[in-house]
Amino acid sequence: MNKNGKLENSKIDGLTSNWLFKKPIDFEYKKYILLNYIKNSENRLNELKIYPDLQEITINIANIASIVKDNKIISLNKILIDFDTEINLSDFKYDLIPDIESNEQTEINKTINFTYPKLLDLFNFAKSIWVFAFDNIDLRLKKNKQSSLIIGYFYYYCKSSNLLCLYFFDFTKNQDSYSTYNEFEEVFYDVIDKSISIAIILNLIKKHNGENNYVIYEVKATKEFPVREALIPIVKRKLMLKNKPIFTNKKYIN
């Protein structure tokens, strides 16, 4: 990630797409890099920060598999706007691995054999956190229940921090292209100094576009999940699955 918290094209957190082939090519050195990456990722996951780690882990696994099977390095050919932007398989580019010496190939093979099962374990851990969050974050119709469910708002209020976030969603556009970036708009994200009420939500919506007849969801969670790294991404996916069944047939990376 860069200093603004955005994912870069070819760098996947602590592991660049060509990290195996960077000098020095030495198993013990690569092992140190990998274990440091895993430790940092596990620390974030233990804090229930699912994104962007889940995507990064998945890409790293795919990269190792591509190197072994096709002798090609996988990297992203686009900038990911947010932590939780979907990654389509078409967003990858493939480059042949560089020429290496036979002794270096031995070190790389040892590194791959050590790395792949470690990343699979990390992925399973991340996915278990994702499932836990998905099962414990709920969308409840709050207002305008008879309105269309494909366009509207959702909001979440955290009592402990007084944080209120309000998002607009619109599934009437981009019918052939689904993404958590294109179809969602952050309307409000700030701490408020008063108790939350539907009147506050309606006032914010009125300031946004003057329409108060769209469906409004309230987000409820049994646990206080990190908002940007877990709660909002999960809510977006729940709405996408609810409103776009075809989304489940698209090949996305989490």
Mean pLDDT of 245-249: 49
Q: pLDDT class for 81, splitting at 50, 70, 90?
A: confident
- Residue 174: its pLDDT value, please? 60
- As a whole number of angstroms, the distance between CA 197 and CA 227 comes to 20
- Residue 121: its pLDDT value, please? 98
Better-predicted residue by pLDDT, 157 or 178: 157
For 185-227, the pLDDT digits (tens) are 999 999 998 889 999 999 999 999 877 899 999 999 999 999 9
- Side-chain half-sphere exposure of 151, counting CA atoms within 13 A: 10
Per the prediction, the chain carries an average pLDDT of: 87
Taking CA 21 as the corner, what is the angle to CA 17 and CA 25, rounded to the nearest 5 degrees?
135
Mean pLDDT of 100-109: 95
Dihedral in degrees, nearest 10, Cα atoms 238, 240, 246, 250: -90
Beta strands in 4-59 (DSSP E): 11-12, 15-16
Q: pLDDT class for 34, splitting at 50, 70, 90?
A: very high
Mean pLDDT of 36-40: 96
pLDDT of 33 above 90: yes
pLDDT of 101 above 80: yes
pTM for the full predicted model:
0.85
State the amino acid at position 122 in one-letter form: L
Max Cα–Cα distance, the chain, nearest Å:
69
Residue among 247, 237, 254, 251 at smallest CA distance from 175 = 247
Q: pLDDT class for 11, splitting at 50, 70, 90?
A: very low
Classify 137-249 by CATH class: alpha beta
- As a whole number of angstroms, the distance between CA 138 and CA 133 comes to 10
Domain boundaries, the chain: 11-134, 137-249
- What percent of the chain is predicted at pLDDT more than 90? 69
Question: DSSP secondary-structure letter at 80?
Answer: B
- Residue 1: its pLDDT value, please? 40
Better-predicted residue by pLDDT, 149 or 118: 118
| CA 206 to chain CA centroid, nearest Å | 30
- As a whole number of angstroms, the distance between CA 55 and CA 144 comes to 35
- Ranking 33-42, 100-109, 207-216 by mean pLDDT, the lowest is 207-216
Dihedral in degrees, nearest 10, Cα atoms 65, 70, 73, 78: -90
For 225-240, the pLDDT digits (tens) are 999 999 999 999 999 8
Burial of 204 from C-beta contacts in 10 A (0-12 / 13-18 / 19+): middle
